[in-house]
Chains A and B, each alone.
Chain A
Amino acid sequence: MAAADSPSAALRRRDLCSRGIRLAGKMRADVVDLLDAYVEQQGLDASASVAVEGVPLAAVERWDEQTGTQRLLENLAAYRAFRALLAQMLEEQREQLGEADAGLGRALAAVLLQVSAFAYHLEELLRLESRGVPGEEEDGPPPPPRLGLFEQKLRGLGVLRELAQWAVRSVRDLRQLAKPSPATGAAPALAESP
């Protein structure tokens, strides 16, 4: 709390929120573009409904009732999961296509970096709230099972779609966190921030 009280901490948090919002926005734009390329490259139907196990869902009930810390923790857990999933997708992509489609690989790597960067933002925000950052091992999802090629493609499609959804939610979460009014923040720590 002491850290949050200091002006520098407040500026730091605002800066983190601001850049987190823009990072999430760019991540969403990149993921949307990547989705188009991915669907086309993998030969999938863009309208296909995919439910993939192990991918955190962005939709949540009573979103507006969540505290700031809770939002940060959920976001952090989701993006850590995405980081693992995207890393696996990138590895599978390289295994499947080698260097044949370097563009898709670069786009995946770029999104992976953005996911990592966003997770870093979330961790920093949690540190500013004097909350310990949970370890990845204890909160991280179990390694995804080895799947067949088509299932890998479908899972990749599901990961990207859900990541795009999470990007939208993260923007809303960070904007909620960035609001100065204590009434809007259920979390006391955030309510105290300027």
Chain B
Amino acid sequence: MFSRWNWVACGFCLVLNICSPDASGGLVQSCGHIIPESPVLALGSNFTALCILNESCPDFGNIYASQIIWKIKNRVVPKEQYREINRTVSSVTFNDTSLLATPLTCNILEDGQIEQNIYGITVTVGLAPEKPKNLSCIVHQMSRFTYVMTCTWDPGRHTFLDTQFRLRYRWPEEIFPDCIPKDVNNSCTVTDIQFFVNTEIWVEATNVLGKAESDPLVVDPINIVKPLSPQNVSVSSGLLPTILKLSWENWISNAVMTLKFNIRYRIVDDTDWMEVPSEDTASPRTSFSVQGLRPYTEYVFSIRCMKEDGVGYWSDWSEEKTGITTEDLPSKGPPIWRIIDKSHSPACWTVHLIWKALKPFEANGVILQYEVTVRDKSSLSSPVKKYNVTSTNYTLQLQEGTYEVTLIARNSVGVSPPSVLLIPASNSKAPVKNLRTLPKHDKLWVGWTAPNSYVLRYVIEWCLVSSSSDCIIEWQIAPGDVQGVELKGIKPFKCYLITVYPLYADGQGTGQSVKAYLKQDRPSKGPTVQTKKVGKAEAVLTWNHLTVEEQNGFIRNYTILYKTIDGNETVVTVDPSKTEYTLSSLASDTLYTVRMMASTDNGSRTGPDFTFTTQKFGKGEIEAIVVPVCLAFLLIVLLGVLFCFNKRDLIKKHIWPIVPDPSKSNIAQWSPQVPAKHNFNSKDQMYPEGSFTDVSVVEIEAEDKKSFSEQDLKPFDLLKKEKSTSEGHSSGIGGSSCMSSPRQSVSDSDEGETTQNTSSTVQYSTVVLNGYRDQTPVQVFSRSESTQPLLDSEERPEDHAGGADSPAQRQQYFRQNGGQDEINTDRPCFERTKQITHANEGDLVGFVQLQISGQSSQPLGLGMEKNTQEAALSNVLQTYTEGQTVRPETVEENPLSVDEMPKSYLPQTVRQGGYMPQ
């Protein structure tokens, strides 16, 4: 039976051996191994490993320890660290495990050079755990009956190894389960905490390299409790306006521990907390009345607790609860001030009473109304006026005088103490002295020196100075014993006008003002400069002051910077009060660029560039050149005139040829064809177009041509007589240079028919003004106005002008008509009898030719009044009309009517020195 089981067993083993041929040596035949296998080493310690070879290695044959090479992560370990223990065992030693790396392999050199790995191990290097330190525990109350204890500690250095921490605690005779932290290594929370028993608590740290325990902490958990904060806190107002009562519930029963409390509170808009003295709340309680509060003020309360004996931890602060105290009387009267408007009438004031609403802690409730009482102190009989106002201002119309204004504020509980403001008739008291300002952080401090008299209080007014809007006054009152206040709400970079008034018991001092900035900046823009006047070497610059909004500070100075295009910039500093400056020493005819910079204490700002060019010549230079030149010219002209005057005979000889004297002529010398030639005095021939633009010819027709010749002798006789008495009154062909010859000129008609047949009409002369230059000396006679009477035999019918009643009437006049006449009347004229050379012949615009028969005419001066001339003409015309036929033959291109003509025909006297006929 036994042998049969043996055979079965052997057969089973055989099957196993067949199925597992390498059951004894494994599937891979190892040629050696390393001791120790995968060690964990302390960092910094020494380490020795052994490589043990199998003597018969199927793969490599016989191998020996001398062939072994140790490697650390493919790096060969120096041979010095090897030691051949025997033929098959080699060791390697590392003095410092920090130099180790993994894996550590044992290798052999086969066939001299081929390296084959025999075995390898993984080396783990780390540290033993340090002793945990700073163990502390706190018991948190989670609910009314639930407490947990959380302990924390310092785990020490990192071990590089898996290290387990556990919190252990025990009673002397009872050990509790360990607390193993999750995910952390420095804290753990215990849930089954029992109070009033000293508990020993410690921490144990363990890894493969060792174990360490912290110092034990022995504590009664009741002494490390952080309780829950009181709950259901409520606030209720009491009977007094300064008390609020707090009530709450505690989470912890007195059986566990008794509590003390902290109560803090603050006004709802404040951030600073106040605390009830801790000794007042050091005993267990569930309510407390907080006293000393402000009336009608909303407070926020919060409370916390801890173990009564102070051992343990304070709870968190409870949720905040608010409560409002009840109202009380206003504690003070509102500060009051006034603004008096006397602009309408100095005797009738518009008084704006303004006051500040009481602060909440002063109002002690809701102010329902203000009661204003005004009493005229200058008139005791005047009734006291009362006004109820709900706003904080009131406007009164008052006569000039002294008034006492009383203001009280009323709330639901009662009225405030009165505020009294005295409005004197004049602010004649002493003002404050040495008013000054100083920025202090975000406030502007205003200081002054008090007057010598006792001051009740000061009123400080201030307003933002603006160029675009009125100054809106803000104000505040300071007690009389201070000499400075801080103004709030002052904006930086803005100009403020600050005025301080001292208020006395019997009056008011005059206000002292100062301008101030809380903070200055550089101007927001620079001045815009331009030139007012530019000269050769100077330029007057003008600019406007910056507006107060643009200044951002006190303008300390202006700086003018100017330069030429390629020149250096010149800088000039100008007083800030000026708006004009003259740049001097500039180069002439040069382009300058100028800009202007305004500076405050905190910087400067430059305005836009402006360019101008200086002038080439200075003032008076042109005059200095032109005037001498003109003077020189005039001098030359004058010299020329003088020269000409001195040489006038010579010049006359060349310019005015000597006209033959008819007195020396004889009739035989008169050419018979003269009359025929004389016909040229028909209008077309005598005054060809282009020579005259306006010619008037007055033709006086004689009634009987036949009687003409017969009656002519008489006038000629008379003429002889006249010649003897008035030589200057001869008719001339040229007239005066101003065409206002006193001689009458008589011309024939257009038809060339001079039919002056009256006995008094004699053709005395014929005037051809423009033709004389072309005349031959022979023709001169026709224009000669000889005073010699013509012989009868010499006289031709055509030459007979109308007979004149007197020699004077025989005179003929001609003169230029039109406006020229008026001008020339004021000028000295040269009278000529034989030939007229008009200096400006081309300027003639009109010509009047007149034939006068039997008309007496007195020569008149050239300066005769116009009306005189008109009257004379009128007489002439009237005479013509009555005694003769006077017909205006042609009036061409001359708009003057006959009535306007007389000036042209007025007889003119020969002035003294005038040109006398020769």
B residues adjacent to A (C-beta < 8 A): 145, 171-174, 192, 194-197, 220, 222, 253, 255-257
Interface string of A17-44 (1 = CB under 8 A from B): 0011011011011100100000000000
For B257, list chain A residues within 8 Å (CB): 22
- Contact pick for B196, options A22, A33, A109, CB 8 Å: A22
Within 8 A of B (CB), among A91-142: 106-107, 109-110, 113-114, 116-117, 120-121
Instruction: Offer 28 A-B interface pairs, CB within 8 angstroms, sorted by A.
Output: A19-B196, A19-B220, A19-B222, A20-B196, A22-B255, A22-B256, A23-B195, A23-B196, A23-B197, A25-B255, A26-B195, A26-B256, A28-B255, A30-B145, A33-B145, A106-B192, A107-B145, A109-B192, A113-B174, A113-B192, A113-B194, A114-B196, A117-B196, A117-B197, A120-B173, A120-B174, A120-B197, A121-B196
Which residue of A20, A26, A107 has the most chain B CB atoms within 10 A of its CB atom? A26
Whether the pair B171, A117 counts as a contact (CB closer than 8 A) is yes
CB closest chain-A residue, reference B198 = A19
A residues adjacent to B (C-beta < 8 A): 19-20, 22-23, 25-26, 28-30, 33, 106-107, 109-110, 113-114, 116-117, 120-121
**In whole Å, how far is A122's beta carbon from the nearest beta carbon of chain B?**
12
Whether the pair A26, B171 counts as a contact (CB closer than 8 A) is no
The answer for the CA separation of A116 and B173 in the assembled complex, in Å, is 9
CB closest chain-B residue, reference A113 = B194
Complex A-B, nearest 6 residue pairs according to Cβ-Cβ distance, in ascending order: A23-B196, A29-B255, A117-B197, A25-B255, A19-B196, A113-B194
Whether the pair B253, A29 counts as a contact (CB closer than 8 A) is yes
Given contacts A26-B256, A29-B256, A33-B145, contact A116 B171 (CB under 8 A): yes
Whether the pair A114, B222 counts as a contact (CB closer than 8 A) is no
**In whole Å, how far is B1's beta carbon from the nearest beta carbon of chain A?**
54
With contacts A23-B195, A26-B196 known, what are 5 further pairs, Cβ within 8 A? A22-B195, A23-B196, A29-B255, A107-B145, A114-B196
For A109, list chain B residues within 8 Å (CB): 192
The answer for the CA separation of A106 and B256 in the assembled complex, in Å, is 17
CB closest chain-A residue, reference B146 = A106
The answer for the CA separation of A30 and B145 in the assembled complex, in Å, is 9
The answer for the CA separation of A154 and B196 in the assembled complex, in Å, is 30
The answer for the CA separation of A107 and B145 in the assembled complex, in Å, is 9
Interface of A is mostly: helix
For A33, list chain B residues within 8 Å (CB): 145
For B220, list chain A residues within 8 Å (CB): 19
The answer for the CA separation of A33 and B172 in the assembled complex, in Å, is 28
The answer for the CA separation of A131 and B197 in the assembled complex, in Å, is 21
The answer for the CA separation of A73 and B257 in the assembled complex, in Å, is 27
- Contact pick for A110, options B173, B192, B197, CB 8 Å: B192
The answer for the CA separation of A113 and B169 in the assembled complex, in Å, is 14
The answer for the CA separation of A116 and B145 in the assembled complex, in Å, is 19
Whether the pair B194, A114 counts as a contact (CB closer than 8 A) is yes
Whether the pair A116, B222 counts as a contact (CB closer than 8 A) is no
For A29, list chain B residues within 8 Å (CB): 253, 255-256
For B256, list chain A residues within 8 Å (CB): 22, 26, 29
For B174, list chain A residues within 8 Å (CB): 113, 116, 120
CB closest chain-A residue, reference B254 = A25
The answer for the CA separation of A29 and B256 in the assembled complex, in Å, is 8
The answer for the CA separation of A26 and B221 in the assembled complex, in Å, is 13
The answer for the CA separation of A19 and B192 in the assembled complex, in Å, is 19
Whether the pair B194, A117 counts as a contact (CB closer than 8 A) is yes
**In whole Å, how far is B362's beta carbon from the nearest beta carbon of chain A?**
52
CB closest chain-B residue, reference A34 = B145
The answer for the CA separation of A120 and B256 in the assembled complex, in Å, is 19
CB closest chain-A residue, reference B176 = A113
Given contacts A19-B220, A29-B255, A33-B145, contact A120 B192 (CB under 8 A): no
For A120, list chain B residues within 8 Å (CB): 171-174, 197
The answer for the CA separation of A25 and B258 in the assembled complex, in Å, is 12
For B145, list chain A residues within 8 Å (CB): 30, 33, 107
CB closest chain-B residue, reference A119 = B173
